[in-house]
Amino acid sequence: MEPTARDAACFEAGIKFGALYHQFAGTPVSPESAPSLERAVEESIENQPFCESVSVDILTEKLAAEIDHGYTELTGRFMEVEIAVEREGTEVVTRMAMEDGYPLMKIESVRED
Amino acid sequence: MEPTARDAACFEAGIKFGALYHQFAGTPVSPESAPSLERAVEESIENQPFCESVSVDILTEKLAAEIDHGYTELTGRFMEVEIAVEREGTEVVTRMAMEDGYPLMKIESVRED
Amino acid sequence: MEPTARDAACFEAGIKFGALYHQFAGTPVSPESAPSLERAVEESIENQPFCESVSVDILTEKLAAEIDHGYTELTGRFMEVEIAVEREGTEVVTRMAMEDGYPLMKIESVRED
Amino acid sequence: MEPTARDAACFEAGIKFGALYHQFAGTPVSPESAPSLERAVEESIENQPFCESVSVDILTEKLAAEIDHGYTELTGRFMEVEIAVEREGTEVVTRMAMEDGYPLMKIESVRED
């Protein structure tokens, strides 16, 4: 079956999430450097086509509690992300947060004009 | 509006594509090392949830024609990828290839049971 | 032969360069998002052991002249980097810039106490 | 002070290590897909200038013991790496393995002709 505009919008939202995660996972991060990394991740992914907004929250308290060499590598355990995509009149809002010890990415809502 | 199972399947397919691209873009690659990289990319992404199959074709002739230090960094210009995802009875087949000088990712087909 | 403190300092400087390049190559970047990325790259690599300072200059004019979808993927052609490392009294200053069409990383100076 | 050939060889060895680690950290890996990833990592980094050999051992038993969603993201805890570099008659052998809960990279030996 042919993909619909709605399918394409959901697909785009997934691309942004996969891109964000695998581009930045492994980046050295500390509570001090977290704010500049949040900003850079948001602005870099917002460059991609159809991307309306990206909001990244690095969990600095969790980071501070768990690291013991002053920094660690960024991974899904240490961030919450929300991404909104709009393509051909369909808006998809997606979110990543920890669930059962695993960084789960999911669609929050889909809105068609 | 609540996301459907079909939305979720399209979203998953996008995640795999974004992950594949941003995990492996930048990898040093030559015509000689391309086969092992193709295999590793396929098998690593196939580990991810809901991923049925991944097929990666690194364009070694194009690579050979364009590199001049014996190797280059992998980027979308040098690969074609097909990924099939199945989630809750919906199968989504997606593909990346060059279009207008840009590595375009798109859905080929969506099949619901 | 046993490695010296000076060997170890040069090795550390190399680690930082390889890390910086391969962590961030492929990041979507535009002239507008370049400043936040410069900052995040600097602060993330400065987290690593023995790293005194990192200075990243993304070449926004070159970027603006060459991109045609509003953004591109960060690669060595678009940045100049200087990294200083100090380990056990040896300071190593290193630099990456384009040379003969290739992003060349090299040691600028080594200073032993 | 001017860098020596030996300094440059140690610097090169570091670059390979940083590159290897930050290119492939975050890659989805399972005991089943580990062999193809080991091979691809070795062959990709061997493409880089002055790189004589790369040997990657992904610790599949440790991997099997610790994962609980069938796969995990590759990180320093799950691999041992040896890299040999030769530049202008200096050979540097380097190694990464866990030490005190941290993936430590160090020079094993330096040999000048």
3-state helix, strand, coil in chain B (%, to 5): 40, 35, 25
Domain ranges of chain D: 5-105
CA proximity to B26, closest of D20, C80, D85, A62:
D20
Give the orientation angle of helix A34-46 with respect to helix C34-46, to 10 degrees: 140
d(CA A24, CA A5): 29
State the fold for domain D5-105: Pantoate--beta-alanine Ligase; Chain: A,domain 2 (3.30.1300)
d(CA B13, CA B9): 6
Is residue C107 within 8 A of residue D4, CB to CB? The reply is: no
CA distance C70 to chain B (A): 12
- Predicted confidence at residue A113, as pLDDT, reads 83
Map residue B13 onto helix, strand or coil. helix
Which residue of chain C is at minimal alpha-carbon distance from A39? Answer: C36
**From the list A14, A110, A111, which residue is nearest B15 (CB)?**
A14
d(CA A57, CA A78): 8
Task: Give me chain A's average pLDDT, please.
Answer: 95
- Predicted confidence at residue D22, as pLDDT, reads 96
Region class of D50: left (phi > 0), else alpha (psi between -120 and 50), else beta: left
Which residue of chain D is at minimal alpha-carbon distance from A102? Answer: D69
The answer to whether D12 faces chain C, any CB pair under 8 Å, is: yes
Contacts of B101 in chain C (CB under 8 A): 68
pLDDT, tens only, A37-84: 999 999 999 999 999 999 999 999 999 999 878 999 999 999 999 999
Which residues partner with A84 through β-bridges?
A53, A93
Percent of chain D with pLDDT over 70: 100
pLDDT, tens only, C65-88: 998 789 999 999 999 999 999 999
- Predicted confidence at residue B102, as pLDDT, reads 83
* ipTM over 0.90 threshold: yes
The answer to whether A2 faces chain D, any CB pair under 8 Å, is: no
What average pLDDT does range D37-56 have in this prediction?
97
d(CA B64, CA B51): 31
- Predicted confidence at residue D61, as pLDDT, reads 96
State the fold for domain A5-112: Pantoate--beta-alanine Ligase; Chain: A,domain 2 (3.30.1300)
Contacts of B6 in chain A (CB under 8 A): 7
- DSSP secondary structure letter of residue C98: E
The answer to whether A101 faces chain B, any CB pair under 8 Å, is: no
**Interface residue of A20, A33, A69 to substitute, partner C, most C CBs within 10 Å:** A33
- Predicted confidence at residue D68, as pLDDT, reads 79
